[in-house]
Amino acid sequence: MTIVDPAKSNMSVTAVQIGKQRGGPPLTQVLRKDRWWLQPALIVFGLSLFGIYATWAAFRNGHYYAGPGLAGGGRDYLSPFYSPCLADVCNSQGQYTGWGPIFGTWWAISPALLILIFPLGFRMTCYYYRKSYYRSFWLSPPACAVPDAGSATPNGKRKRYTGETRFPLLIQNIHRYFWYAAVAFAGILTWDAYASFRFVGGYGMGLGSLIFVVNAALIWSYTLGCHSCRHLCGGGINKLSAHASRLWLWKNIASKLNARHQLFAWLSLIWIAFADFYVYLVSSGMIHDPRFF
């Protein structure tokens, strides 16, 4: 009687042969019939558009504050791209508690370039944005069950794919530090929303105030729906029941907002650009900000 080498049999413990020819329809053949390319295309379009706008807005270095002076029409609107106010302009003109004196008039580069590092870093390392740019810009993969184009070299050979295990993508792991900064920024933008109700001669409300309130609300919704936030609230704890308040935060705030994180990522992105543009229009005198009371 011969005992066949058990390693040859099809047991669940069979050593898996890696690199074996798979057979079946070739992987490069896209069998999907739906418009799988639409979503990545839209994302490329949307993010590029925002990128172009943000570059313009950041280098504009002007018309970002609709202050109490004539040009501002007696408002206290500061563009979110330029908040907190690092330049003298807000300080000298309004009630805004900016850091003007520190960054005095000697500072010539657009303050937005400094400020935007933080929100940009936050969004670049955001789990949602990572997904969308890996998919649409790096095509890794462009859509599900569509071959990963990001890693093919020109000669058709596959490059080794290392995901987020190596520098620079290893940096993604410090997302939570950007989140800490983002909370501060959300606070600042909340202050700005408050300031937008201050008019020369007392409190009031203009269309801009409304835009600022929505802006702050969207930023908070995005920031509190962050996966790192969810983790800090309670995601990292196994016996949540023993931590009533963190359970509540985790369950009712972070997890609920997290489920809509993609939505708020886009809304807050669009809105913040819109708010900036609105301030630009008002402060450059192109439109007049309607005042409700």
Partner 1 sequence: MAEYETHIVDVLIIGAGGAGLRAAAEASAMGASTAVVCKSLLGKAHTVMAEGGVAAALGNVWPEDNWKVHFRDTMRGGKMLNNWRMAQLHAQESPDRVLELEQWGALFDRTPDGRILQRDFGGHRYARLAHVGDRTGLELLRTVQHRAVDVGIEVFMECKIVRLLRDSEGHVNGAVGIWRETGKFIVFGAKSVVLATGGVGKMYKFTSNSWEGTGDGHALALWAGADLIDMECIQFHPTGMIWPPSARGLLVTEGVRGDGGILKNRDNERFMFNYISDYFKAETSDTIEEADQWYENKRDFRRPPELLPRDEVARAINSEVKAGRGSPHGGVFLDIASRRTAEDIKRRLPSMYHQFKELADVDITKDAMEIGPTCHYIMGGVRVDADTAAATVPGLFAAGEVAGGMHGANRLGGNSLSDLLVFGRRAGIGAAEHALSKEGTVTIDQEQVESIAKHALSFFDNEGKENAYAAHQALQNTMQELVGIIRTESELVRARGELHDLNERAKVVSVEGHRQFNPGWHLALDLEAMMAISQCTTLGALERQESRGGHTREDFPTPNNEVFGKVNMVTSMQGSEVQIRREPLPVMPPELQELFEEAH
Partner 2 sequence: MSPESATAVEKNLQMRLWRGDAEGGEFTEYNIPAQEGEVVLDVVHRIQAEEAPDLAVRWNCKAGKCGSCSAEINGRPALMCMTRMSTLNIEEPITVSPMRGFPIIRDLVTDVSFNYAVARRVPAFQPPKLAEGEVFRMQQVDVDRSQEFRKCIECFLCQNVCHVIRDHEDNKESFAGPRFFARLAELEMHPLDTLDRRRLTSEQFGLGLCNITKCCTEVCPEGIHITDNAIIPLKERVVDARYDPVAWLGRKITGKPDPTPAAVAARFAPETLAQQQEARSAGRIGTHPETSGAGTSR
Q: Give the position of tokens 């019939």.
A: 33
| Contacts of ligand FES in 255-284 (CB under 6 A) | 261
CB of 247 to partner 1, least distance (A): 15
- Rounded Cα gap, residues 78 and 70, in angstroms: 15
Residue 216, burial from CB neighbour count under 10 angstroms (0-12, 13-18, 19+): buried
Q: Is 82 in the site for ligand FES (CB under 6 A)?
A: no
Q: Is 21 in the site for partner 1 (CB under 8 A)?
A: no
User: Which residues are within 8 A (CB) of 201 and not within 5 positions of it... i.e. 6 or more apart?
Assistant: 74
- Rounded Cα gap, residues 273 and 266, in angstroms: 11
Give 129 or 199: the residue with its C-beta nearer to partner 2.
Answer: 129
226 binds, among partner 1, partner 2, ligand FES, none (CB under 5 to 8 A by kind): ligand FES
DSSP designation for 202: E
CB of 134 to partner 1, least distance (A): 30
- Rounded Cα gap, residues 15 and 254, in angstroms: 43
- Looking at 60, 227, 243, 246, which residue binds ligand FES (CB under 6 A)? 227
23 binds, among partner 2, partner 1, ligand FES, none (CB under 5 to 8 A by kind): partner 2
CB of 204 to ligand FES, least distance (A): 34
Q: Is 244 in the site for partner 1 (CB under 8 A)?
A: no
- Rounded Cα gap, residues 78 and 64, in angstroms: 6
Tokens linked to 89: 């302009």
- Rounded Cα gap, residues 132 and 178, in angstroms: 19
Residues in contact with ligand FES, counted by CB under 6 A, come to a total of: 9
CB of 120 to partner 2, least distance (A): 19
Q: Give the position of tokens 């639409």.
A: 38
Q: Is 11 in the site for partner 1 (CB under 8 A)?
A: yes
CB of 222 to partner 2, least distance (A): 15
Q: Is 175 in the site for ligand FES (CB under 6 A)?
A: yes
Q: Are 125 and 107 in contact (CB under 8 A)?
A: no
- Rounded Cα gap, residues 106 and 289, in angstroms: 31
Please name every residue paired with 66 in a beta bridge, in sequence order, or none if there are none.
77
Contact pattern for ligand FES over residues 95 through 134, marking x by CB under 6 A: -------------------------------xxx------
- Looking at 66, 115, 211, 226, which residue binds ligand FES (CB under 6 A)? 226
3-state secondary structure of 199: strand
Name the nearest CA neighbour of 217 among 186, 263, 181: 186
3-state secondary structure of 179: helix
Q: Are 94 and 67 in contact (CB under 8 A)?
A: yes
- Looking at 7, 10, 25, 165, which residue binds partner 1 (CB under 8 A)? 10
Residues that bind ligand FES (CB under 6 A): 126-128, 175, 179, 226-228, 261
Q: Which residues bind partner 1 (CB under 8 A)?
A: 1-4, 6, 8-13
Which residues are at the interface with partner 2 (CB under 8 A)? 6-7, 10, 12-25, 27, 30-34, 127, 130-131, 134-135, 140-141, 144-145, 147-148, 151, 158, 160-165, 169-170, 173-176, 227-228, 230-231, 235-236, 238-241, 247, 251, 258-259
